[in-house]
Amino acid sequence: MTPSEISCNKESVGDNGEVTVVGEGGRGQIKGVGEWINNHPNNTSIYILAPFPPIFNFLILIALTSFFLTHSTHFFFLLLFHQHLPAISPFRVYNPISDYTHFNQRFHLPIPPRIMSHYRDDEEYLADEYEMEDIDDDDMDYEVHGEDIGSDSDSDEYGYTSNRMEDTTAAQARRGKDIQGIPWETLSITREKYRQSRLEQYKNYENIPQSGEGSEKECKVTNKTGMFYEFRRNSRSVRSKILHFQLRNLVWATSKHDVYFMSHSSVFHWSSLKYKKTNVLNVSGRVAPCEKHPGSLLEGFNQTQVSTIAVKDNLLIAGGFKGELICKYLDRPGVCFCSRTTYDENAITNALDIYTTPSGSVRFAASNNDCGVREFDTENFQMTKHFRFPWPVNHTSMSPDGRLLIVVGDNPEGMLVDSRSGKTVASLHGHLDFSFASTWHPDGQTFATGNQDKTCRIWDVRHLSKSVTALKGNIGAVRSIRYSSDGRFMAMAEPADFVHVFDVKSGYEKEQEIDFFGEISGTSFSPDAESLFIGIWDREYGSLLEMGRKRNNFYFDSLF
């Protein structure tokens, strides 16, 4: 599709709350834009994704000039420069900081930054528009604007090269450089003012209106002076891409130097020791198993749209938008297992959990939108259990002793389930919206759930009538939660800008707030708890943020 940008305000919205576009293929509406414009009375910019050539798109803009001229002072500027704008993918969430710096550095104009908003209608790639029936081979070739999908290229999807800006090291950060390399000194807005703008205008996505406001009164007031992990490096060549705006489990560390992440149609390995990126699984073309297991689809899959991944030890599993499961042992060539969990229309694999049973066998659970949770062994890749629930399941976590399963999904109430029978042990009351995250503390007695009501709740299996405590995010839903292997810390990630690290030993009273700009694709502690990795997704500032366990170190650069 060819993108163009026009400017409009509240008067541009029709009675039905939609902006109408007339093109060669007929008439259509841009859903969700009207609601956003009505909530932002000042002139603002929107993107029109039109399935016709650029010249026709340009003529449409000319034809609409008479209408927009009376409503927007920015129209002629956008008309003049719309061919110079970065290409826009119809399958991404837009981050304002890269848009802002790109305009400011290229044209040196003090235009206001666009503030990100989240509406489901604006993210319609999630289930229906992401259906592969609607994407032909040509569309796939140009989805990343000419880049070979799944290649090792450092070029991002907009034609920019990631080496325009160097990585940021710990020594540079101590000398005052922004950890993401954002050149605030050249911009017409300070970091502090931009942060305040984000806090005030970021729109959290909710399935149940006002759920975020309703949960605030129960949340613990924490001490944010903690410093448990310190900045080590920001790696620009590691650009983890979000594939579904609600699913953020796309970064996994298998050691303090080895990280796996999803980018475009490939899973990559990143070595923070060698600063080397390696493509380990490319699903942009045909993927077929090289091992024979009962139930495995020998023909494999073609052009899989991955929704989530999980990596533990030497096992990588990728889940797809159509219920695909692709399993690969990292120490073996090829793929060992391909299967489809369901052919239901709501087949998307929302989460994967790899765990070791008390007997020592390795298994994994797949949580799907068809309301099912399926357990597989990893020796023969046979399904060992299949539990059904009354609502789509977004995430599950197996307890360390293998007896209990946390189940959360499209319902404010979660469940604690007997892992052998599938029977509900307890319902989890307290959240006000849908949940997308869960995890167990290594002690097996406490666990956490993350919700779109902007809270993470801590539970004790011995007292399940209510949560032990509720922890609040700053701007959005709690999309992922991780405990460190020693149980000392818990990382809580919002959809953008903030990862909170809580001191579990203090009763979650003390926290470290890691502050940056960009959508969060995933977070992961290393197995030894020495490193914490954060995937940041942004067109220009996408990167991997590496934090290290803080010790009483002396830095030689502090002498100079």
Residue 423 in tokens: 């029977």
Residue 553 confidence (pLDDT): 65
- Classify each residue of 154-178 as buried b or exposed e, where b means 16 or more C-beta atoms within 10 Å of its C-beta: ebbbbebebeebebbbbebbeeebb
- Rounded-to-integer distance, Cα 365 and Cα 349, Å: 10
Residue 97 confidence (pLDDT): 56
194, containing H or E segment: helix 191-201
- Rounded-to-integer distance, Cα 343 and Cα 331, Å: 31
Residue 383 confidence (pLDDT): 96
Residue 264 confidence (pLDDT): 87
Alpha carbon distances (Å) from 134 to 137, 185, 342: 10, 44, 20
pTM for the whole structure:
0.75
Fill in the DSSP letter of residue 33.
Answer: H
Residue 124 confidence (pLDDT): 35
Residue 451 confidence (pLDDT): 98
Angle at CA of residue 521, ends 516 and 527, nearest 5°: 95
φ/ψ bin of 423: left (φ > 0), alpha (ψ from -120 to 50), beta (otherwise): beta
- Rounded-to-integer distance, Cα 113 and Cα 531, Å: 33
How many helices, marked H, and strands, marked E, lie in the chain?
9, 34
Alpha carbon distances (Å) from 435 to 49, 141, 480: 31, 35, 10
533, containing H or E segment: strand 531-537
Per-residue pLDDT in tens (0 to 9) along the chain, 560 residues: 333 333 343 334 444 444 443 333 333 444 444 443 444 434 333 433 334 455 555 555 555 554 445 444 343 333 333 333 333 333 334 455 555 444 343 333 333 333 233 333 333 333 333 333 333 333 323 222 223 323 333 444 433 444 446 899 999 999 999 999 999 999 999 999 999 999 999 999 999 999 988 888 889 999 999 999 999 999 999 999 898 999 999 999 999 999 999 998 999 999 999 999 999 999 999 999 999 999 899 999 999 999 999 999 999 999 999 999 999 999 999 999 999 998 888 899 999 999 999 999 999 999 999 999 999 999 999 999 999 999 999 999 999 999 999 999 999 999 999 999 999 999 999 999 999 999 999 999 999 999 999 999 999 999 999 999 999 999 999 999 999 999 999 999 999 999 999 999 999 999 999 999 999 999 999 999 999 999 999 999 999 999 999 987 655 554 44
Helix (H, G, I), strand (E, B) or coil at 197: helix
Alpha carbon distances (Å) from 431 to 183, 368, 409, 467, 559: 40, 21, 11, 10, 50
Residue 44 confidence (pLDDT): 38
- Contact call for residues 308 and 351 (beta carbons, < 8 A): yes
Taken in order of first residue, the domains within the chain and their CATH numbers are 191-559 (2.130.10.10)
Beta bridge mates, 302 = 286
- Contact call for residues 74 and 82 (beta carbons, < 8 A): no
Residue 60 confidence (pLDDT): 55
97: phi then psi, degrees, rounded to nearest 5: -65, -40
